[in-house]
Structures are given as C-alpha cells and as structure tokens.
C-alpha cells in the first residue's frame, strides 16, 4: 500500500482548493510511520484550478490515496452518531484503529462529505456506510496536526462533477 508510486503527489495547502474529497469513499484505512492513509478505489475530485487538469471542469481521478501525516495516532478521533431506541442521538467515540478495523474488515466504507480545517488541524464530516441496517451513520473525523498529501495517477474526463 505505502510503496505504490503515483504520478501526482499534491501537498494540501490550507488555501488550495484543487483536490476535493466530497462524496468520495475510502475502502481501506492504514496507519504506518506517522501516516494515516485512506484509499479511494473510485478516486477523488480534481478541480479545473489544478495545473494538471486541462479539462476546464472538476473531474474524478483513477484510484487514489490521501495520506495524512499526523503527530500521534492516538489523537485522531472518530465521533459516530446513532439514534437509540428512545430516538435520542448518541455519540460513540472511536479511535483511528477501531475505524480502520471496521473499514478494512468490509463492515463499512467511509464517505467523506465536508472538510473543516485550519492550517494546523482538520475535521471531516463523514458517513459510515453499511451493507445492512443501519445502512448509514453520520460521523466526524478529527485529526489535529494533520497535513495531507493527495496521491493520484490519471484524470477521468468522463467522470465530471
């Protein structure tokens, strides 16, 4: 996983809007040597602002990866929201290892929805998607100190936003 070479390795600039993970689904989550890695078999979005995108539109990539350099894996938290039998929302706190185990076992996938960030931390509004009930659970992924590098090979002009 970590030894795969990619043609494009774009560091995330907190003011840069060239790579978008909105509606992108990670099917594998790994951690090694300070890097929390999310693999996107169906790619992610690259906007027309990216120098490699000459299409003039936002398009998908081929299979891609987002690597988040983090200071301490124990600082990464996933807050999963469920409704109990009394119709009250309950927050379950999970660590990155629990989240990775759930995704890597095939129990669920992780869909990235919205990103909230400063130059020093990131929080993602996400959804855990299951093949059976509950089908969907909202979650927030908080990664303090995270710095991302987006890795991909080719654009898919046939897959427009």
pLDDT tens profile 109-148: 999 999 988 777 789 999 999 988 889 999 999 999 888 9
pTM: 0.91
Token code pair at residue 101: 């185990």
pLDDT at 16 over 60: yes
**Residues with Cβ < 8 Å from 61, sequence gap 6 or more?**
43, 44, 45, 46, 152, 153, 154, 155, 156
Backbone angles phi, psi at 98, to 5 degrees: -60, -40
| DSSP one-letter string for 82-107 | EE-TTS-EEEEEEEHHHHHHHHHTTS
Residues 67-117: tens digit of each pLDDT: 999 988 999 999 999 988 898 999 999 999 999 999 999 999 999 999 988
Backbone angles phi, psi at 74, to 5 degrees: -70, -15
Element holding 121 (H helix, E strand): strand 121-129
DSSP 62: S
Apex 70 CA angle, 126 and 114, nearest 5: 20
Instruction: State residue 143's pLDDT score.
Output: 93
pLDDT at 151 over 90: yes
**Residues with Cβ < 8 Å from 58, sequence gap 6 or more?**
20, 45, 46, 47, 48, 160, 161
pLDDT at 2 over 60: no
């Amino acid at each position: 996983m970590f030894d795969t070479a990619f043609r494009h390795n774009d560091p995330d600039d907190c003011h840069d809007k060239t790579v978008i993970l909105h509606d992108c689904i990670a099917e594998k989550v790994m951690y090694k040597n300070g890097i929390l890695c999310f693999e996107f078999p169906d790619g992610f979005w690259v906007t027309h602002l990216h120098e490699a995108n000459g299409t003039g539109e936002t398009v998908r990539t081929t299979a891609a990866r987002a690597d988040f350099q983090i200071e301490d894996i124990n600082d990464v938290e996933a807050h999963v929201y469920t409704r109990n039998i009394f119709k009250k929302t309950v927050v379950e706190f999970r660590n990155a290892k629990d989240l990775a185990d759930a995704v890597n076992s095939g129990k669920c996938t992780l869909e990235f929805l919205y990103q909230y960030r400063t130059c020093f931390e990131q929080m993602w509004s996400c959804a855990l998607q299951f093949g059976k009930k509950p089908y969907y659970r909202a979650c927030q992924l908080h990664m303090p100190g995270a710095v991302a590098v987006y890795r991909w090979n080719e654009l898919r002009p046939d897959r427009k936003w």
